Amino acid sequence: MLKRTVYFSSPCYLSVRQQQLIVKKEDEATPVTIPVEDLGFVVLEHQQISVSLPLLDALAENNVAVIFCNKSHMPHSMLFPLEGNHLQSELYRQQIAISEPLKKQLWKQTVETKIINQAGLLNKLGKAWQDINALSRDVKSGDAGGREGMAAKMYWNRLFGKEFTRERYGPYPNNFLNYGYIVLRAAVARALTGSGLLPTFGIHHHNRYNAYCLADDIMEPYRPFVDAAVYEIYENYPDQSELEKDIKAELLQVLTVDVQLGQTTRPLMVGLSQTTASLARCFAGEQRKVDYPLLQ
């Protein structure tokens, strides 16, 4: 089932009654109600939004990711349930106990798919892609040869021009990419917890200060779907370089775009759950490859 993403950017009071999210605004006499079970993501942007504790509890019970934005209107923190699966402790043990060779093989596949999807986006846009796609066939265990970095440099120069450098604090459209990736990261973390996995323990990323290392790993092949959304905005609105409300709303829609997993097409948000469930099976020794989508 495709879950809804709701975005609040003005003062309001959010509460819950009979499993309904209640939205009360000062200038509206009648509250808006939304079934909690229909929600997948709640984005809270305004600093004058009040949220009741029972609502946060209800959202956690339904594995709804709550994204809190800071005073600069950028996603700053996330709320997820501590328990997402009835086999929680067993899944945790399997995740923590995986061998180093398996980690390297899973990362190899992750990098391969990311490069293939980068090449796929370039191909879709009519840009040179064959040599980048060829790099995917030369990825070694653990990406020992650094093919991810080589592909990235070529990819960004072709996607946004030779003057563009992908930097977190770089000029436009880096700000659009940052926002899209934060939303994607939250979606991956939600899917991981729903599959009973800890987003903290990664297969490649291992920064001691990063609580979402595994989310950062698994989101890699999905990044080109965000890049595609940003490129479309970049082309269609050449004078729009600020993260306005309408741009954020458009970037949030990346969670609903169709992705291809094997012979099945499904929304990205649903595809993520298939990906993380397959990862859990890899940790359990039931399969050797993660189910990642291919960008068509």
Query: What's the rounded mean pLDDT across residues 20-43?
Result: 92
- Residue 198 sits at φ, ψ, to 5 deg, of -90, 120
Q: The whole model's pTM is what?
A: 0.89
pLDDT digits (tens, 9 = 90+) for 139-154: 999 999 999 999 999 9
Residue 160 confidence (pLDDT) = 96
Among the CATH numbers 2.40.50.100, 3.40.50.1370, 1.20.120.920, 3.40.50.1220, which is that of 88-283?
A: 1.20.120.920
Residue 85 has pLDDT above 60, yes or no: no
Strands 20-24 and 75-79: unpaired
Residue 46 has pLDDT above 70, yes or no: yes
Superfamily (CATH H level) for 4-79: CRISPR-associated endonuclease Cas1, N-terminal domain (3.100.10.20)
The domain locations on the chain are: 4-79, 88-283
Residue 79 confidence (pLDDT) = 86
Name the band, by pLDDT with cuts 50, 70 and 90, for residue 86: low
Most confident of 155-159, 211-215, 234-238: 155-159
Query: What's the rounded mean pLDDT across residues 168-184?
Result: 94
Residue 157 confidence (pLDDT) = 96
Q: Write the CA distances from 264 to 13, 21, 106, 187, integer angstroms.
A: 40, 32, 22, 20
Average the pLDDT over each of 31-40, 68-77, 130-139 and give the range with the smallest value. 68-77
| Token pair belonging to 183 | 């939303």
Residue 71 confidence (pLDDT) = 87
Same topology, domains 4-79 and 88-283? Answer is no
Q: How far apart are CA 122 and CA 146, in angstroms?
A: 21
Name the band, by pLDDT with cuts 50, 70 and 90, for residue 296: confident
Residue 234 has pLDDT above 80, yes or no: yes
Average the pLDDT over each of 60-69, 74-83, 98-107, 157-166 and give the range with the smallest value. 74-83
For tokens 């991810």, the residue is 148
